[in-house]
Structure 1
Amino acid sequence: MGEAAEQTARDRKLLLLKYLIVIIPPLIIYLIPTTQTFTQDMKVFFIITLVAILLWALELINLIVVALALPVAFILSGVATAGDVYAPWSQDLPYLVLGALILSAVFEESGLMKRLAYWFILRGGGSYKGIIYALSTSGFIVAFLVPGSLARIALYAGMAFGIIKALGLKKFSKGSVGLLFGAYNAAVTASFVSLTGVEPMLVFNSQLESIGMEGASWLQYALHNVPITIIWTYVMAFMITKIFKNEEEVEGKSYFQQQYQVLGKLSMSEKKVTIILIVLVALLATSSIHGIALGWIFIGMTFICFLPGINLADDNTMAKTNFGMIFFITATMAIGQVSAVVGAGKFISESLFPLMTIGGTTFTVIATWVLSVVVNFVLTPFAASATMAIPLAELSQSLDISPLPLAYSFSHGLYQLLLPYESTLPLLLFSYMAMTYKQFLKYFSIQMVLNVAFIALIAIPYWYLIGLL
């Protein structure tokens, strides 16, 4: 009973500390005197935004509840109108994400994704290294087929655990942890081949369009990122096989042959999904020709899945959809919208960005990556891209360069982390409790160092080569 009382007291102290963290920083901002450049509206905007960010980071209040309250706070404070804060709902991004979430559930239910992954693994020979490389290779295809990153990580993580069990690998062993990171590499790293596979980039794109600047089309994004992403993904696959080298060689080809045979012949659902995917990719690739926004394409294809005769989705599919995520995304986008209204974006760019431009364009692209890594400690990837997109766009205008290299560099930085809480994707992987934090830190700290080298030595020269910089 004494231990329970002590634990309760500790919990109360921790809760009090969290609330102090939420209250004190906004209070400090409140005490800063206003000037011609730091206006009253700007001060109120920073206070409201910081409170929301801290509530999200410390998980004191449900994430969606905070997302619902944030736009209302902007309206009631008088810093923006309802038209300003709810402008994201008139853009296609929320509907793109909604359609992507539903389609991801449809594709997962069909079994086509597992069939593809097992096919690639068999081509890799079924050895430990072969599985890592095969998973990574399948990730390039699945990135186009399953737009939702959470769906991809859940799919690959589940597959990895099945492989670990089948091969008899021990929990926390180098081999089992390596397979988990191989799954992460396939689900997340390889997804940079597709615009719809990188959600922060979609948010960045939408914010650019909201201020009259062109974002990347689906085909443009592929041209700018597919070649270098293939290199980056295989670099990470090689790194995994070296730092998490399996203690004993495994041969799992018979297991994968058995699993592949269990799937049987291509089902009618898989055939229908294949046709849907072909049409979806064709529409995405030709969006610059027909002019239909990506969001409307996803909603249209989602609708087709529910049609009589198609029957790829039903009420159970909808029950798997996380509708709350849409409110979170629009709330983070509202931060960017209101930032532009009160001039906060310009204030940030004028205050911070002179330091990012002291060494030329290459330095600025790398500095953008550093900014992203730092911001990711306190902001979710969605919120970070929504908040910083407009200031970075203004920076690119001042340098007379395209905002896209900064957007790409910023997006890469958002996936470099040291703590599991920084993003839901590695957090989901870590939450399986099949790796130690030491192993987690080892992988992501090495990835961070390699990623900045990749941006500097491969990505930037490639963007110069194709005329993007």
Structure 2
Amino acid sequence: MITDTPLWLTALVVGITILLWALARLPEYLTALLFFAAAMLLQIAPASSVFSGFASSAFWLVLSGFVLGTAIRKVGLAQRWSNWLVVPLSQSWPRMVMGTILLTWLLALVMPSNMGRIALLMPVVLALGERAGIRPGSRGSIGLALAVGFGTFQLSASILPANVPNLVLSGAAESAWHLHLQWLPWWLLHMPVVGLAKGLLLSACIIFLFRAQPQPVNQRENLAPLSASEWRLMGLLALTLLLWMTDSLHGISAAWIGLAAACLCLLPRIGFLSGDDFTHGVNIRTCIYIAGILGVAALVVDSGLGRLIANLLLSILPLHETPSFHNFVLLNALVSLLNFVLTANGVPAMVTPMAQELANASGFPLLGVIMLQVFAYATPLLPYQASPVVVAMGLGNVPAKAGLQLCVTLFVLSMLLLLPLDYGWFLLLGYGG
């Protein structure tokens, strides 16, 4: 715990950093570098806290994802896989968008890493778009990239092991309250709204905001037989996917599995990428941005600023002692506000240990308070609050303005349309008291 630094100074640095990211007036990586410089010059935290993002598994999953995605594109697997999908998905823009979002959810059932799923899907989906006449950099291409990013992060919140914030929540619930959250009850509670309804709403937003007219493809290309490089890369990806799927058995983090696979892709002679490929394929800007986001979240927790903000918000929230939709909305608002400073990965680590206090103040059961966080942290207002969305924007060359437009639109519509549905489903399943 940091005790020798004025908390107002930490709050000032964090607040300015978040404001710069929200306004997008400076490049996101530059804001992250300014945060690092300010935090160290003002000595508001030790380097181990400020630069903790570079030591996190998320950072290395991002870097590994860029390498794997570049290899998939270079050897031709992206074009080959997209060739199989282009006929059913290219018949209309709604079908292409909804098909892409469905792919993100189906892959989440078997692959636990958000970053890994984005790395695998992004080159395939963008190649699919090009095959259907959607030019890189066009509104349609941007929409497809956002479908991969938002679908991967937001819909996977309905599946317990498929999302980092879910795992943080599960671990915090077990350590703080000895609650062992299970796959099926989680899925039954969150799938109808956070999965199905959110998927339909996301599809509608992308179809409307990023309109495109794909050219229907009725026949697949006759591609050459698989090359030796393609066979080797498929073998490596299959092994990587298998190890990702079985991480609960062997205990090796998905980040280190991804890093090992990336290293194999870069090795001379047996790999697939040269030094120039690495330089052009890895978006260092996004990697620095991710490290900055994680560093801010760690600083907020380590300094005690997060706990102070949470207690302050709790003291001013007009909660009633009987459970109601009013209380449900206010608790979701609390989580959404904390999402601004903690980001999605940090919110459940802060809120879950406070769940009993929130339950006492609102009348909801302890488990209900713990579980209602999911909707809020899976619905960010700004892209930086969800690092997988940021990674997808980097991989898909999505302008910050486009990502912000979709994020804000989806947030507003989710709160207006889906939050009441979520409350009704909570009551139906007995989580509302």
Distance between the aligned counterparts of 2:243 and 2:184, measured in 1?
Answer: 14
Q: Pick from 56, 59, 65: which aligns with 2:30?
A: 65
Distance between the aligned counterparts of 1:43 and 1:49, measured in 2?
Answer: 10
Aligned CA RMSD, in angstroms, stands at 5.2
Letter in 2 for 1:336: A
**Number of residues paired by the alignment?**
398
Structure 1 residue 414 and structure 2 residue 380: aligned?
yes
Distance between the aligned counterparts of 1:127 and 1:56, measured in 2?
Answer: 35
Structure 1 residue 285 and structure 2 residue 252: aligned?
no
Q: Pick from 146, 163, 166: which aligns with 2:132?
A: 163
CA gap of 1:107–1:344, structure 2 versus 1, over 3 A, is same
Alignment of 1:246-395 (within 5 A): 252-254=216-218, 257=219, 260-308=220-268, 310-319=270-279, 320-353=281-314, 355=317, 358=320, 360=323, 367=330, 369-370=332-333, 384-385=343-344, 388-395=347-354
Contact 1:208 1:390 in 2 (8 A): no
Contact 2:65 2:258 in 1 (8 A): yes
Structure 1 residue 44 and structure 2 residue 44: aligned?
no
Letter in 1 for 2:132: I
Structure 1 segments unaligned to the other structure (5+ residues): 1-37, 167-171, 418-422
Letter in 2 for 1:299: L
Q: Which residue of 1 aligns with 2:48?
A: 83
Alignment of 1:111-122 (within 5 A): 111-122=76-87
Bigger Cα Rg: 1
CA gap of 1:409–1:267, structure 2 versus 1, over 3 A, is farther
The Cα of 1:345 is off from its aligned counterpart by 1.2
Deviations 1:169-206 (A, max 9, x none): xxx9xxx97x97566435532555658x99x9547867
Distance between the aligned counterparts of 1:440 and 1:66, measured in 2?
Answer: 20
Q: Which has the higher contact order (CA 8 A, sep 6+)?
A: 2
The Cα of 1:110 is off from its aligned counterpart by 3.6
The Cα of 1:404 is off from its aligned counterpart by 6.9
Q: TM-score, normalised by structure 2?
A: 0.68
CA gap of 1:349–1:185, structure 2 versus 1, over 3 A, is same
Structure 1 residue 98 and structure 2 residue 77: aligned?
no
**More displaced 10-residue stretch of structure 1: 341-350 or 330-339:** 330-339
Letter in 2 for 1:163: A
Contact 2:69 2:119 in 1 (8 A): no
Distance between the aligned counterparts of 1:127 and 1:264, measured in 2?
Answer: 28
CA gap of 1:194–1:104, structure 2 versus 1, over 3 A, is farther
Contact 1:70 1:331 in 2 (8 A): yes
Distance between the aligned counterparts of 1:243 and 1:50, measured in 2?
Answer: 33
Deviations 1:297-331 (A, max 9, x none): 11112112233554222223312101233332222
Structure 2 segments unaligned to the other structure (5+ residues): 360-365, 384-388
Distance between the aligned counterparts of 1:370 and 1:66, measured in 2?
Answer: 27
Q: TM-score, normalised by structure 1?
A: 0.63
Distance between the aligned counterparts of 1:268 and 1:162, measured in 2?
Answer: 24
The Cα of 1:153 is off from its aligned counterpart by 5.6
**More displaced 10-residue stretch of structure 1: 392-401 or 296-305:** 392-401
Letter in 1 for 2:419: V
Q: Pick from 18, 34, 47: which aligns with 1:53?
A: 18
Contact 1:45 1:79 in 2 (8 A): yes
The Cα of 1:106 is off from its aligned counterpart by 1.9
Q: Equivalent residue of 1:413, what SS?
A: coil
Q: Equivalent residue of 1:312, what SS?
A: coil
